[in-house]
C-alpha cells in the first residue's frame, strides 16, 4: 500500500506549474524584449534622419554659394548620422529647389528641400547567411527651409 502511494505521487503533476510558468514566461519575454530593442533602434534612426534633413536644409540656405551650401549640408548629414552610428552612403542626401532655377537655388524666396534616405540595421543580427543585408529597415525624412528675403548669406 505504501508503494502504490509513492508511485501515484511521482506520476502526478504536483509542483510543475511554477516551472511551466517560468519556461513559458521566458519563451514569451525574450521576443518581446527584442521587439522593444528593435523598435527603439528604428525610432532612434528615424529621429537621426529627421534631424539630419532639418540641419542640411538649414545650413544650405545660410550659405553664401551653392557649392559651399552643398558641402555644409553634406557635413551636417554626416555628423547627424554618425551621432547615431548610421552608415553614410553616396546619394543619401538629395537637395532640391522650389521656386528658382537650379543655378539660382539661393535666390530670395526660394524653398530648399533636403531629403535623406538610409537604412537602420536591426540589433543582434549575426553576419551569417547574409542576414545582416536583409535585416535592415529603410528610413527617410524631408525638411524644407526658405531662403530669406535678404538673400542666403548672413
Range of weakest confidence among 3-17, 49-63, 72-86? 3-17
126 located within any domain: yes
Q: Quick check: is 10 in a domain?
A: yes
CA 43 vs CA 9, 39, 49, 118, 152: distances in Å: 53, 6, 10, 13, 33
Q: Is residue 151 part of a domain?
A: no
Closest to 53 measured CA to CA, from 152, 141, 146, 147: 141
Q: Is the pLDDT of residue 140 over 60?
A: yes
154, part of any domain: no
Q: What is the pLDDT of residues 94-116, one digit of tens each?
A: 999 887 665 678 888 889 999 99
- Please report whether residue 40 resides in a domain: yes
In a domain, 9, yes or no: yes
Domain containing 97 equals 2-146
Question: Whole-model pTM?
Answer: 0.77
Output the 3-class SS for 83-139. HCCCCCCCCCEEEEEECCCHHHCCCCCCEEEEEEEEEEECCCCCCCCCHHHHCEEEE
Q: Is residue 27 part of a domain?
A: yes
Total domains in the fold of the chain: 1
Residue 112 pLDDT: 92
- With respect to residue 152, please indicate whether it lies within any of the assigned structural domains: no
Query: Is residue 70 a contact partner of residue 78, using CB atoms and an 8 Å limit?
Result: no
Query: 25-56: per-residue pLDDT in tens?
Result: 889 899 999 999 999 999 999 999 999 999 99
Amino acid at each position: 500500500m505504501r508503494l502504490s502511494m509513492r508511485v501515484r505521487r511521482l506520476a502526478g503533476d504536483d509542483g510543475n506549474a511554477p516551472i511551466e510558468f517560468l519556461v513559458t514566461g521566458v519563451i514569451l519575454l525574450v521576443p518581446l524584449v527584442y521587439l522593444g530593442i528593435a523598435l527603439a533602434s528604428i525610432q532612434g534612426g528615424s529621429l537621426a534622419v529627421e534631424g539630419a534633413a532639418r540641419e542640411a536644409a538649414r545650413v544650405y540656405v545660410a550659405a553664401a554659394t551653392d557649392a559651399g551650401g552643398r558641402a555644409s549640408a553634406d557635413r551636417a548629414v554626416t555628423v547627424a548620422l554618425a551621432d547615431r552610428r548610421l552608415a553614410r552612403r553616396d546619394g543619401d542626401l538629395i537637395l532640391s529647389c522650389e521656386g528658382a532655377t537650379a543655378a539660382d537655388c539661393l535666390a530670395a524666396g526660394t524653398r530648399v528641400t533636403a531629403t535623406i534616405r538610409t537604412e537602420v540595421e536591426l540589433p543582434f543580427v549575426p553576419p551569417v547567411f547574409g542576414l545582416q543585408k536583409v535585416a535592415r529597415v529603410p528610413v527617410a525624412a524631408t525638411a524644407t527651409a526658405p531662403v530669406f528675403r535678404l538673400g542666403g548669406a548672413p
